Chain A
Amino acid sequence: MSAARDDGALGTWRSAQEPVLAIRDFSVVYRTKGGDVRAVDQVNLDLHAGEVVGLVGESGSGKSTLAYGACRLLRAPALITSGSVRYQGQRMAAPTDIMQLAPGQLKDLRWREIAIVFQSAMNALNPILSVGAQLLDVIHAHLPISREEAREKAASLLDLVSIPRSRLRSYPHELSGGMRQRVMIAMAVATDPEIVIMDEPTTALDVVVQRDILAQIVELKERLQFSILFITHDLSLLLELADRIAVMYAGQFLEVATASEIQHEPAHPYTKGLLHSFPSLRGPRRELAGIPGSPPDLRSPSAGCPFLPRCPYATDDCTRIDMSLARVATSRDPGHVTACPFVLPETPERTAAARTGNGALMAPAPADAEPSHEELTP
Chain B
Amino acid sequence: MSIADSGAQPQSPDVASAAARRGALAMEAISISKDFRLPRGQILHAVRQVSFGLYRGAVVALVGESGSGKSTVARLLAGQEALTSGEIMLDGAPMDVSSHKAFRRYKSEVQLVFQDPFSSLNPVHTVSYHLERPLRLHQASGPGRAGRPGKEEIAALLQQVRLTPADQFLPKYPYELSGGQRQRVSFARALAARPSVLLADEPVSMLDVSIRLEMLGLLDELRRDFQLALLYITHDIASARYFADEILVMYAGEIVERGPAEELTQHPAHPYTQLLVASAPDPDNLGSTLRAGGQRDARPESAGLAATGCPFSPRCPLADDHCRREDPALLRVSPTRAAACWHLDIAAPEVLAGSQSRPDHGGVGT
Among B181, B237, B301: residue with most chain A CB under 10 A: B301
- In the assembled complex, the CB of A189 is this many whole angstroms from the nearest CB of chain B, namely 18
CB–CB A233/B208 < 8 A: yes
Among A163, A215, A237, A259: residue with most chain B CB under 10 A: A215
Q: Is A240 an interface residue (CB 8 A)?
A: yes
CB–CB A283/B284 < 8 A: yes
- In the assembled complex, the CB of A193 is this many whole angstroms from the nearest CB of chain B, namely 21
CB–CB B217/A279 < 8 A: no
**Chain B residues, CB < 8 A from A359:** 213-218, 220-221
**Chain A residues, CB < 8 A from B302:** 163-164, 176, 178-179
CB–CB B280/A240 < 8 A: no
Residues of chain B touching chain A, judged by Cβ–Cβ distance below 8 Å, are 65-66, 178-181, 208-218, 220-221, 235-239, 241-243, 262, 265-266, 275-287, 289-291, 293, 295-297, 300-302, 365
- How far is A162 from B296 in the complex, measured between Cα atoms in Å? 12
**Chain A residues, CB < 8 A from B365:** 362
- Nearest to A310 among chain B residues (CB) is B210
- How far is A290 from B242 in the complex, measured between Cα atoms in Å? 13
- On whether A240 and B208 interact (CB within 8 A), knowing A359-B216, A361-B220, the answer reads no
- In the assembled complex, the CB of B141 is this many whole angstroms from the nearest CB of chain A, namely 34
- The contact of A277 among B66, B178, B179, B213, by CB within 8 Å, is B213
**Chain A residues, CB < 8 A from B236:** 207, 279
- How far is A289 from B278 in the complex, measured between Cα atoms in Å? 24
- CB<8 Å pairs between A and B, sample of 28: A59-B208, A163-B302, A164-B302, A178-B302, A207-B279, A207-B280, A210-B279, A219-B293, A233-B209, A236-B209, A237-B281, A259-B286, A260-B286, A274-B209, A277-B210, A278-B212, A278-B238, A280-B283, A281-B237, A281-B238, A281-B265, A282-B280, A288-B213, A290-B211, A290-B213, A359-B217, A360-B217, A361-B242
- How far is A358 from B220 in the complex, measured between Cα atoms in Å? 12
**Chain B residues, CB < 8 A from A168:** none
CB–CB A362/B242 < 8 A: yes
- How far is A178 from B296 in the complex, measured between Cα atoms in Å? 14
**Chain A residues, CB < 8 A from B235:** 206-207
- Nearest to B315 among chain A residues (CB) is A208
- How far is A361 from B59 in the complex, measured between Cα atoms in Å? 13
Residues of chain A touching chain B, judged by Cβ–Cβ distance below 8 Å, are 58-59, 162-164, 176-179, 206-212, 214-215, 218-219, 233-237, 239-241, 259-260, 263, 273-274, 277-283, 285, 288-292, 294, 358-362
- On whether A280 and B297 interact (CB within 8 A), knowing A207-B280, A235-B209, A292-B214, the answer reads no
Given contacts A281-B282, A294-B180, A361-B243, 18 further A-B contacts (CB under 8 A): A207-B280, A208-B276, A212-B300, A218-B290, A233-B208, A233-B209, A233-B210, A236-B209, A236-B281, A241-B290, A277-B213, A279-B243, A281-B237, A281-B280, A290-B211, A359-B214, A359-B216, A359-B218
**Chain B residues, CB < 8 A from A234:** 209, 281
**Chain A residues, CB < 8 A from B217:** 290, 358-361
CB–CB A240/B211 < 8 A: no
CB–CB A240/B286 < 8 A: yes
CB–CB A289/B213 < 8 A: yes
- How far is A198 from B66 in the complex, measured between Cα atoms in Å? 23
CB–CB A214/B286 < 8 A: no
CB–CB B237/A278 < 8 A: no
- How far is A289 from B239 in the complex, measured between Cα atoms in Å? 13
- In the assembled complex, the CB of B176 is this many whole angstroms from the nearest CB of chain A, namely 12
CB–CB B275/A208 < 8 A: yes
Among A179, A291, A358: residue with most chain B CB under 10 A: A291
- Nearest to A241 among chain B residues (CB) is B290
A-B pairs, 9 with minimum CB distance: A359-B217, A290-B213, A211-B279, A206-B65, A236-B281, A281-B238, A239-B283, A291-B210, A290-B214
CB–CB A239/B286 < 8 A: yes
- Nearest to B278 among chain A residues (CB) is A211
- In the assembled complex, the CB of A208 is this many whole angstroms from the nearest CB of chain B, namely 5
- On whether A240 and B300 interact (CB within 8 A), knowing A207-B235, A279-B241, A294-B180, the answer reads no
CB–CB B300/A288 < 8 A: no
**Chain A residues, CB < 8 A from B179:** 59
- On whether A215 and B293 interact (CB within 8 A), knowing A263-B283, A281-B265, the answer reads yes
**Chain A residues, CB < 8 A from B284:** 280, 282-283
- How far is A42 from B297 in the complex, measured between Cα atoms in Å? 42
- How far is A206 from B235 in the complex, measured between Cα atoms in Å? 7
- Nearest to B296 among chain A residues (CB) is A215
- On whether A207 and B212 interact (CB within 8 A), knowing A162-B300, A239-B281, A282-B282, the answer reads no
**Chain B residues, CB < 8 A from A290:** 210-214, 217
**Chain B residues, CB < 8 A from A274:** 209-210
- Nearest to A235 among chain B residues (CB) is B209
- Nearest to A240 among chain B residues (CB) is B287
**Chain A residues, CB < 8 A from B181:** 294
**Chain B residues, CB < 8 A from A259:** 286-287
